[in-house]
């Protein structure tokens, strides 16, 4: 038995290494999340993984692809006049939940795919105005052309400006206004419904200091379609990055201080190894030597064949693997990533050692798997749904920074009960980043530590996952013991249950929503549930619902009693209710 497991682990390692070593020059661009059977009608919409927590796609009667603000106004007006529900779709659609699904099956989708131009750069005042469908990649490069930089952004640049604002997406910092992109929005234009007497749609211009900006900056897409966004930038600067690996004995104290000492300092915890990779990452003057480049290994193109083989191994390790085989695989892959500086190079070609110093726009985000030379699906982003590769859940939660040390201390207690269980988190471990308190009604109310974890998802709903109880306990602990909040663009259903009550200014958000969209054109069942409108919940209570995070179990039938999984208290957080064997 041991020998067989050993061989399996070695196979997985070879695959992981082969994957990481690939340096492909082309990649098939990700699919458009919107597909229509008949021109622009009879459409489906999905996300970049072709899977929401409870279904693969949603339906819509119509799709529109406006190329100008005028066409956008016409598209909203047509939908309002026809009494259709509307949602905005983006070029790739990276949100995990059904945020972009219009209500019912007869709704309309407005894609921002072609709304991706730079409108204006005001270099003197360091402002840039872009259309909302522009990708983060496009925004970063347009700013850099004018010698300007966005200080803090998500690490993956395939997101669009409208989409990342919609869910409050963030990079990492406690400095300035903090790590969330919406903090740097100074103005925007949004198209909302209007009475018939005004032609069914109107453009609202929210200039600097407009009070409604606090609603529109993080809107879950329910206020209308953001047409253009103006962001405040900074003069171009350089960064100096070193990844420093240390043991995790003082992690609880470090989370309170690391982000104050290092402007871009995040923390990756590898619980099973009892190690932490600290990103020691600071701003340096543009005159500092170095032309470093970040091409994150995970966001590079991967060979489809290898991804498929990798998934076969993942399935095998899930079903028949042991903690030891999973941990060996992770440790070796992790060592590989570390020795390759996670994709950083000092000159765009080779990694020769830390620190890696380079311009902000070459370091802040990456995504070379987006490069659009079509090679017929030979190589793709690793989550591309057209091939049967890795399939995962992504949990993104935040806890108030003041409570982060106690939260981490609890996580360490859970870890100490079974360190090897944490290998199900893979090489990405527990990523911790910082976001500051926001004036946005749906932004973080207080300075916060965000926590990201990824883990295996089965294609067969209800299939038991290794150590799912441990993951559920972490999530419930963050949310319920430590006052945590879900990232609006990640997570499974249960994370949103009751979440809106933790946003002290949600009432003000709903007032703006009612004023902009009194008929609920931009609302759906899902967005009403997330916003707790009429007391609705995001939980789907049925047999086995807790196995996929569609609910928290309160009864054995929410787990899989026939497979030996029952609803049990958590091990460290006894109030948690998790499906355990
Ligand atoms: C590989 C990867 C890495 C990621 N890294 C990070 C990270 O570092 N930090 C982070 O915070 N998140 C990260 N995310 C999550 C991501 O930020 C969110 O899912 C984000 O909202 C997706 O943006 P999108 O452009 O794909 O928008 P979508 O998912 O398509 O849309 C999000 C919401 O915004 C609405 N919307 C979009 N455009 C408009 C508009 N013009 N007007 C009104 N509403 C609009 C949509 O209707 C929808 O409700 C990552 C995701 C992936 C896949
Ligand atoms: C929509 O398209 C599907 C196939 O993609 C087809 O089966 C269905 O009949 C179409 N519905 C309408 C109303 O045209
Ligand atoms: C805008 O999007 C289109 C379609 O996705 C793409 O071909 C074009 O290169 C994009 N333009 C910019 C400036 O990003
Ligand atoms: C796990 O082992 C069982 C019994 O040997 C086998 O039927 C099953 O296919 C294996 N699972 C995977 C994913 O290979
Ligand atoms: C950089 O990498 C290239 C190609 O991998 C190699 O030929 C070259 O010798 C390397 N240069 C240095 C300075 O390491």
Q: Convert the pLDDT of each residue in 557-579 to its tens digit.
A: 999 999 999 999 999 999 999 99
Residues with CB under 6 A from ligand 1: 48, 87-90, 92-95, 99-100, 112, 132, 154-156, 159-160, 162-164, 166-167, 169-170, 220-221, 225-226, 487, 489-490
Q: Of the bound ligands, which one is closest to the alpha carbon of residue 487?
A: 1
Instruction: Please list, residue by residue across 504-513, b when 16 or more beta carbons sit within 10 angstroms of its beta carbon and e when fewer do.
Output: ebbebbbebb
Count of H-run helices and E-run strands, the chain: 13, 26
Q: Of the bound ligands, which one is closest to the alpha carbon of residue 311?
A: 4
**What pLDDT is recorded for position 7?**
45
User: What's the CATH code of the domain at 128?
Assistant: 3.30.465.10
Which residue's C-alpha comes closest to atom 9 of ligand 3?
A: 116
Question: Number of folded domains in the chain?
Answer: 2
**Looking at ligand 4, which atom is closest to the CA of residue 316?**
13
Which residue's C-alpha comes closest to atom 5 of ligand 3?
A: 113
In a domain, residue 147? The reply is yes
Cα distance between residue 538 and residue 549, in whole Å:
11
**What pLDDT is recorded for position 328?**
93
Cβ contact 258:250 at 8 Å: no
CA 324 – ligand 4 centroid, Å = 18
pTM of the entire structure?
0.95
In a domain, residue 204? The reply is yes
- Report residue 516 CA to chain centroid gap: 27
CB neighbour list of residue 543: distance below 8 Å, 6 or more residues apart? 557, 558
CA 243 – ligand 1 centroid, Å = 27
Q: Give the count of beta carbons closer than 10 Å to the beta carbon of residue 7.
A: 11
In a domain, residue 185? The reply is yes
Q: Which domain holds residue 212?
A: 118-236
Cβ contact 184:151 at 8 Å: yes
In a domain, residue 216? The reply is yes
Last residue of a domain, one of 204, 236, 268: 236
CA 116 – ligand 3 centroid, Å = 6
187 DSSP β-pair partners: 230
Last residue of a domain, one of 185, 209, 236: 236
CA 36 – ligand 2 centroid, Å = 9
DSSP for 76-145, please give it.
HHHHHHTT--EEEE-SS---SSGGGPPSSSS-EEEE-TT---EEEEETTTTEEEEETT-BHHHHHHHHHH
**Looking at ligand 5, which atom is closest to the CA of residue 352?**
14
Last residue of a domain, one of 236, 251, 284: 236
Q: Of the bound ligands, which one is closest to the alpha carbon of residue 321?
A: 4
Which residue's C-alpha comes closest to atom 13 of ligand 4?
A: 316
**What pLDDT is recorded for position 375?**
80
In a domain, residue 414? The reply is no
In a domain, residue 176? The reply is yes
pLDDT digits (tens, 9 = 90+) for 99-116: 999 988 899 999 999 999
**What pLDDT is recorded for position 28?**
79
**Looking at ligand 3, which atom is closest to the CA of residue 137?**
14
Mutate to test the pocket of ligand 4, among 310, 320, 456, 458 (most ligand atoms within 8 A of CB): 320
Q: Which residues of the chain have pLDDT under 70?
A: 1-27, 372
DSSP for 244-307, please give it.
EEEESTTHHHHHHHHHHHSTT--EEEETTTTEEEEEEEEEE-TTSS---EE--GGGS-EEHHHH
Q: Of the bound ligands, which one is closest to the alpha carbon of residue 458?
A: 4
In the block, residue with structure tokens 């003197």: 124
Q: Of the bound ligands, which one is closest to the alpha carbon of residue 8?
A: 4
In a domain, residue 389? The reply is no
287 lines ligand 5 (CB under 6 A): no
**What pLDDT is recorded for position 376?**
85
In a domain, residue 413? The reply is no
Cβ contact 219:166 at 8 Å: yes
């Amino acid at each position: 038995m041991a020998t067989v497991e050993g061989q399996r682990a070695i196979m997985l390692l070879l695959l992981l290494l082969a994957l990481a070593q690939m340096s492909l020059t082309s990649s098939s661009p990700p699919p458009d999340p919107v597909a229509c059977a008949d021109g622009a009608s009879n459409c489906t919409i999905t996300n970049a993984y072709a899977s929401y927590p409870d279904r693969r796609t949603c339906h819509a009667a119509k799709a529109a692809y406006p190329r100008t603000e005028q066409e956008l106004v016409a598209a909203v007006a047509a939908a309002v006049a026809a009494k259709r529900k509307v949602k905005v779709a983006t070029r790739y659609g990276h949100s995990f939940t059904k945020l972009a699904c219009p209500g019912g099956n007869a709704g309309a989708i407005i894609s921002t795919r072609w709304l991706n131009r730079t409108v204006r750069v005001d270099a003197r005042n360091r402002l840039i105005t872009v259309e909302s469908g522009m990708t983060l990649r496009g925004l970063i490069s347009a700013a850099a052309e004018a010698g300007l930089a966005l200080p803090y952004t998500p690490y993956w640049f395939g997101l669009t400006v409208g989409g990342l604002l919609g869910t409050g997406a963030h990079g990492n910092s406690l400095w300035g206004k903090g790590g969330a992109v919406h903090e740097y929005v100074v103005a925007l234009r949004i198209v909302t419904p209007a009475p018939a007497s005004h032609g069914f749609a109107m453009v609202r211009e929210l200039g600097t200091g407009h009070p409604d900006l606090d609603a529109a900056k993080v809107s879950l897409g329910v206020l209308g379609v953001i047409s253009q966004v103006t962001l405040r930038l900074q003069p171009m600067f350089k960064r100096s990055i070193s990844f420093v690996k240390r043991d995790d004995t003082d992690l609880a104290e470090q989370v309170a201080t690391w982000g104050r000492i290092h402007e871009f300092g995040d923390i990756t915890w590898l619980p099973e190894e009892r190690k932490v990779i600290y990103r020691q990452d600071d701003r340096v003057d543009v005159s500092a030597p170095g032309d470093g480049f970040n091409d994150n290994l995970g966001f590079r193109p991967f060979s489809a064949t290898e991804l498929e083989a990798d998934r076969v191994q993942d399935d095998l390790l899930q079903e028949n693997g042991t903690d030891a085989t999973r941990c060996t695989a992770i440790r070796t892959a992790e060592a590989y990533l570390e020795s390759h500086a996670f994709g950083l190079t000092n000159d765009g070609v080779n990694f020769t050692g830390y620190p890696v110093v380079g311009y902000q726009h070459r370091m802040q985000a990456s995504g070379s798997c987006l490069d659009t030379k079509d090679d017929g699906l030979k190589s793709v982003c690793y989550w591309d749904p057209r091939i049967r590769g890795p399939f995962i859940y992504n949990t993104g939660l935040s806890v108030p920074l003041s409570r982060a040390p106690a939260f981490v201390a609890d996580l360490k207690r859970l870890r100490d009960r079974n360190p090897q269980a944490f290998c199900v988190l893979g090489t990405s471990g527990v990523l911790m980043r910082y976001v500051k308190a926001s004036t946005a009604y749906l932004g973080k109310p207080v300075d916060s530590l965000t926590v990201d974890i990824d883990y295996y998802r089965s294609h067969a709903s209800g299939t038991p996952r290794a150590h799912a109880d441990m993951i559920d306990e972490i999530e419930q602990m963050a949310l319920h013991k430590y006052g945590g909040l879900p990232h609006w663009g990640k997570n499974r259903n249960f994370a949103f249950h009751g979440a809106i009550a933790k946003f002290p200014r949600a009432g003000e958000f709903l007032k703006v929503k009612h004023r902009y969209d009194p008929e609920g054109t931009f609302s759906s069942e899902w967005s009403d549930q997330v916003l707790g409108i009429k007391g609705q919940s995001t939980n789907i209570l049925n047999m086995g619902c807790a196995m996929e995070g569609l609910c928290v179990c309160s009864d054995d039938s929410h787990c899989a009693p026939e497979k030996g999984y029952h609803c049990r208290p958590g091990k460290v957080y006894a109030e948690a209710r998790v499906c355990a064997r």
